[in-house]
Amino acid sequence: MAKILIATVPLTGHVTPMLLVVQALVARGHSVVWYGASKFRSAIERTGATFASMHASIDWNDADVEAALPALRGKRGLARVKTQLIEMFIAPMQQQLRDLAALATANTPDLVLADSAHLGAALLSETQRTRWATLGISALVVPSIDTAPFGPGWRPSSSVFGRWRNRFLNWLVFRCMFRRVNHAYRRERSAAGLPTLGTYFESLTPYLYLQPTVPSFEYPRSDLAPQIRFIGPLVPKPSTNDVSLPAWWPDVEAAHQRGTPIVMVTQGTLATDPNELIVPALRGLAGLEALVIATTPNGLPPADVPANARVATFIPYHVAMPLLAAVVTNGGYGGVQMALQAGVPLVVAGGSEEKPEIAARVAWCGAGVDLRTGRPRASQIAVAVTKVLSDSTYRTRAQAMGADMQKHNALDEAAALIEALAAQV
């Protein structure tokens, strides 16, 4: 059996899919040490992995990223994205490398498996010649001659003109607009004694990149690297324990039996201000002949909850998804994949992090509407949801993607690929 060293950055959306993979690896008899943030220690240890804490200087809590990373305060839009890339992923590289090097010396792993944003794992692979696999945690970032730069949500094009546009925009964005980001990245590589060629966006393992979706969700790339393997979405298995449902859940079941559309509104785990999406969605859908269910960590004042809406701090997705007519979301990758696997069309308001790219892919594949903003008006949401509910082509396309996704067993495919890499001499 293999010895595997796991590395994740301190973000819930990066840790959650890795938990599933590690649990599968441990169940197959592999020895796993997981280098992660203290916030996730209990969840990590429940997988059967041995927890190894990262240095306190880079061990922050993503529940309040601005408190953890003060440089983000007051920044919005592109300035915030640049600062996030530097503060969250690039600045910790040297400490990550020191931590991982010590763990590699102590544990002599057969390979390192990291989330795709963990740049310290890349440094370790280059400085110590360790084999390094990555698990994608969102839409595919890898540049291509067939795609525009990652970030703004521009559509792909493989025509002659489109490829010219792509080359120009990739140069403009990655080499000019993100010059400060790439300078910081090259500086960290130089500090590790490595060549400074390339950009942050071109950091790709040469060994194995696991992308947890299906090719039909991603833009086609004629130059896709062979080590990128699509494994299908990483969706948690339904719990066999009693599921805690809100007291109002009978209203949902009754609405489903009557044939009343049920619409879920959710903002995921990182951008959780309800005024960005939850509140305007409830207002916009108040007049709709539908039951609207929403999740938000701290609840809402009764005045913000119209008669056709129900709000809870948590709703188990695997129970809700089969009942839904549509999902309104800010574009968290895991939630979008779960909806599509269940054949549920989406309305996506992606405005921060990589969410505009996820929203654009949902619209491109025909399974939903991209609102092209992270702070939509109530009327925008109402129009989009009405469109998705009334036009059956969105559900038809979502169901087709769901059928494609269900052909995969992501955990078995991931484990087999990881085992094959670990076994290479």
| Residues 412 and 380 occupy one common structural domain | no
Please check whether residue 136 lies inside any domain of the structure. yes
**How high is the mean pLDDT in each 10-residue block of the chain (425 residues)?**
95 93 96 96 96 95 88 85 92 96 95 95 92 94 91 88 93 88 93 86 91 95 96 80 82 95 84 84 94 87 89 88 95 92 95 87 96 93 96 97 95 96 84
Taking alpha carbons only, the member of 27, 9, 39 closest to residue 414 is 27
Give how far Cα 108 sits from Cα of 101, 283, 311, 381, 416, Å: 10, 56, 49, 52, 21
- Which CATH number characterizes residue 200's domain? 3.40.50.2000
Q: What is the pLDDT of residue 268?
A: 67
Q: What is the pLDDT of residue 81?
A: 86
| Residues 35 and 20 occupy one common structural domain | yes
| Residues 177 and 37 occupy one common structural domain | yes
Give how many domains the chain has, as a whole number: 2
| Residues 208 and 262 occupy one common structural domain | no
Please check whether residue 379 lies inside any domain of the structure. yes
Pairing of strands 346-348, 326-329: parallel
Could you tell me the residue range of the domain that residue 315 belongs to?
249-405
| Residues 70 and 121 occupy one common structural domain | yes
- Beta bridge partners, 230, equal 211
| Sequential DSSP letters for 46-109 | HTTPEEEEPPGGG---GGGHHHH-GGGTT--HHHHHHHHIIIIIITTHHHHHHHHHHHHHHH--
Taking alpha carbons only, the member of 147, 83, 144 closest to residue 352 is 83
CA 148, CA 168: separation in Å to the nearest integer? Answer: 9
The angle, 0 to 180 degrees and rounded to 10, between the axes of the packed helices 333-341 and 12-27 is: 60
Global pTM exceeds 0.85: yes
| Sequential DSSP letters for 24-57 | HHHHTT-EEEEEE-GGGHHHHHHTTPEEEEPPGG
Please check whether residue 82 lies inside any domain of the structure. yes
- Beta bridge partners, 350, equal none
CA 394, CA 15: separation in Å to the nearest integer? Answer: 31
Six-digit token pair at 304? 């913000």
Q: What is the pLDDT of residue 262?
A: 97
Please check whether residue 239 lies inside any domain of the structure. no
| Residues 221 and 296 occupy one common structural domain | no
| Residues 228 and 349 occupy one common structural domain | no
| Residues 30 and 130 occupy one common structural domain | yes
| Sequential DSSP letters for 103-163 | HHHHH--SEEEEETT-HHHHHHHHHH---EEEE--SS-----TTSPPSSS-PPP--SHHHH
The SS3 of residue 327 is strand
